[in-house]
Amino acid sequence: MTEKTISRGILRALGIVVGIALLLFFFYKIRSVLAYLTIAAVVALIGRPIVLFLRRKLKFPNTLAVVLTISLMVGVFVGIIALFVPVITEQGRNLSLLDIDDLQYKVENLYREITGFLGLSPNDIEQSIKESKIFSNLDFRFIPNFLNSLLGTLGDLSIGLFSVLFISFFFLKDRKLFQSGILAFVPDRNENRTVKSIEKINNLLSRYFVGLLLQILILFVIYTIVLFIVGIENAIVIAFLCALFNIIPYVGPIIGGGLMVVLTMTSNLGADFSTVILPKTGYVLIGLMVGQLVDNFFSQPFIFSNSVKSHPLEIFLIIIIAGLLFGVVGMIVAVPGYTAIKVILKEFLAENKTVKSLTKNL
């Protein structure tokens, strides 16, 4: 091997590294556009069954079916925003007029009642509170500022929302658009396999995302009923927030349940702990248990096993690994990403023993 050949190899390797670095830098710069494309793809997958129903069952023209589907999804989104914005605005107005010192005293008093109910010494509690200064260091004035910044963020999202809807419309109208973009980078000999993979991925992920919406809806109904029975204010908003956390596998239900319990307890600040706060919290915990039992034994097996054709243990391991590698985002995209990889492997490496074992149900 001559020095000239070695030099060419080094230069080629450096060129590849620089090219990859520039490509990653380019992707970083257009990350918002990539996010819009990803969200639009998910919206298109969710809306795809509706478009197909309108076209095949009701004989609607393709464009009209897409327009109606987008309108329906926008209506649902606007309804959700309309549900939240007045509550947030009202709470922000109330908190701006709130006696912060009184709120801090009530939270501190609630803490004393809980620890006292558990049989801890009041003197030790008082001493520990004074030494730790946990409540004196807790400034509740951040709440109005947080709500104001949240409303500002919602305003900034309007451009992103328009972009997502615009892209989603064309993804639904021309279902071959995304496919054509991918095929432009695929060699001719692999086009048929790639088309089959894309169709299979679209079908599986459409079922997955629709099932995920069904899961959230079931939990939302259960949580809303429980909170209404208990008599918690803004029950619909709290139930929706807690149900929405189930998008994050395994960790989300814990966060949502904790949020519901905290909001239940803080919504009754100043009431007697043993006769009011504790019973209501107990009923909410029972409702959470019922919701999670329904979710674990009905919703999740239906969504994860049937919709993406994977074993529950397989899905569990993939989600845990993705969470360790990429955090919460990894847990959310683990199932769709793993499903897409399985479909591609089955199409291109169907004779491999390991691939056969993993994709036998696809």
Q: CA-CA distance, 91 to 103, in Å (whole number)? A: 14
Nearest to 238 by CA among 214, 215, 265, 212: 265
Tens-binned pLDDT, residue by residue, of the chain (362 aa): 566 777 777 888 888 888 888 988 888 888 778 888 888 888 888 888 888 888 888 888 888 988 899 898 888 888 877 776 666 565 555 445 445 566 566 666 666 666 666 665 556 555 665 555 544 554 545 445 544 555 555 555 667 778 888 888 888 887 677 677 777 777 777 778 888 888 888 888 888 888 888 888 888 889 889 888 888 877 888 888 888 888 877 778 888 888 888 877 777 666 666 677 778 888 888 888 888 888 877 777 666 666 777 777 788 888 888 888 877 778 878 888 888 888 888 887 777 777 777 777 76
Nearest to 345 by CA among 197, 216, 198, 231: 197
Q: CA-CA distance, 149 to 168, in Å (whole number)? A: 28
**How many beta carbons lie within 10 A of that of residue 276, not counting itself?**
12
Task: Please give the C-alpha separations between residue 68 and each of 82, 190, 267, in angstroms, as whole numbers.
Answer: 20, 36, 40
Predicted pLDDT of residue 68: 92
Predicted pLDDT of residue 140: 47
Predicted pLDDT of residue 98: 47
Nearest to 69 by CA among 80, 54, 79: 54
Under 8 Å CB-to-CB from 51, ≥6 apart: which residues?
Answer: 62, 65, 66, 69, 172
Predicted pLDDT of residue 100: 54
The whole model's pTM is what?
0.67
Residue 188 per-residue DSSP state: G
Q: CA-CA distance, 36 to 235, in Å (whole number)? A: 32
Q: CA-CA distance, 240 to 283, in Å (whole number)? A: 18
Residue 89 phi, psi (nearest 5): -65, -45
Tokens standing for residue 6: 């070695």
Tokens standing for residue 195: 């088309």
Task: Please give the C-alpha separations between residue 161 and each of 49, 66, 75, 86, 190, in angstroms, as whole numbers.
Answer: 22, 17, 13, 20, 35
Predicted pLDDT of residue 126: 58
Q: CA-CA distance, 332 to 351, in Å (whole number)? A: 30
